[in-house]
Structure 1
Amino acid sequence: MTPLGEKIRQMRQERGASQKDMAAAIGVSAAYLSALEHGRRGVPSWTLLQKIIGYFNIIWDEAEEFQRLAETSRPRVKLDTSGLSPAATELANLLAEGIDRLDEAEIRHITASVRQMLERAKRAGS
């Protein structure tokens, strides 16, 4: 499941909507919506994302968070480390080979650490 799929399922269930009803309302099949929730489909188009936001009547700040979730919800990530350091290539390969052996707490810890480092690098580069 992707972050976006998890959020869609959570919001749909909180509102008591079935996949079939939501899918009809946003103009997709129930099978597509199920695949999106389970992470078997990639990030939806901008147009479909706007329909989902409208379906849930999401306000401005929540809509931005929803779009951020969509951007981080590619279930099949491809990393090109050509031109980067050997350490970058090693890190990419370690994650690709071993992420399935990490538990949720470890994944959340690594994610938070990487976000902090990227934010520091962004501030330093500004």
Structure 2
Amino acid sequence: MTPFGEALRELRRQKGVSQQEMAVAIGVSAAYLSALEHGRRGRPSFDFLQRVCGYFNIIWDEAEELFRLAEGSDPKVTVDTAGLPPAYTALANLLARKIRHLEPDMVEELTKLLEKASNRG
């Protein structure tokens, strides 16, 4: 599951609607919603996000948060290290090999470290 998929499922739960009901209302298939929620589809389109926001009456900060979650929810990420020092490529490959085996606390720790580093630069 992706962060966006988790948020979408929670929105549906709060409103008490099924995937089928939501799919009909916003003009997509229930299979597509299921694939998004389970992380089997890439980042949703801007148009789709707009329809979701309209369906759930989401505005301003909540809509911005939903768009942010969608931006970070591509389940098949490509990391381009061309032109970077060898250590960067090694790190990207190590993470790709080990990510499925990381404990949740390690993921949280790495995320905080990377966010801290990105705020400095």
Which range, TM-score by smaller chain? over 0.9
Tell me the secondary structure at the aligned position of residue 61 of structure 1.
Answer: helix
Q: What is the percentage of aligned positions where both structures have the same residue?
A: 58
Give how far 1:45 is off: 1.0
Matches within 5 A, 1:29-68: 29-68=29-68
Deviation at 1:47, TM superposition (A): 0.5
In structure 2, distance between residues paired with 1:67 and 1:117: 23
What are the Cα deviations for residues 59-106 of structure 1, in whole angstroms up to 9, with x where unaligned?
A: 201111111111100000011101011121111111100001101121
* 1:19-74 CA-partner distances (Å, limit 9, x unpaired): 10011111001011000100101111110111011111112011111111111000
TM-score (norm 2): 0.96
| Structure-2 residue corresponding to 1:124 | none
Runs of 4+ in 1 over 6 A off after TM superposition: none
Count of residues paired in the alignment: 121
Q: What is residue 20 of structure 1 aligned with on the other side? A: 20
Specify the code of the residue in structure 1 equivalent to 2:94: L
Q: Give the match's secondary structure for 2:95.
A: helix
CA distance, structure 2, for counterparts of residue 112 and residue 56 of structure 1:
31
Paired position in structure 2 for 1:87: 87
1:116 aligns with 2:88: no
Q: Which runs of 5+ in 2 are unaligned?
A: none
Helix, strand or coil: the match of 2:65?
Answer: helix
Distance 2:7 2:17 in 1: 14
Aligned amino acid, residue 79 of structure 1: V
> RMSD value over aligned CA atoms?
0.8
- Aligned partners of 2:55, 2:116: CA distance in 1, in Å? 33
Letter in 2 for 1:77: V
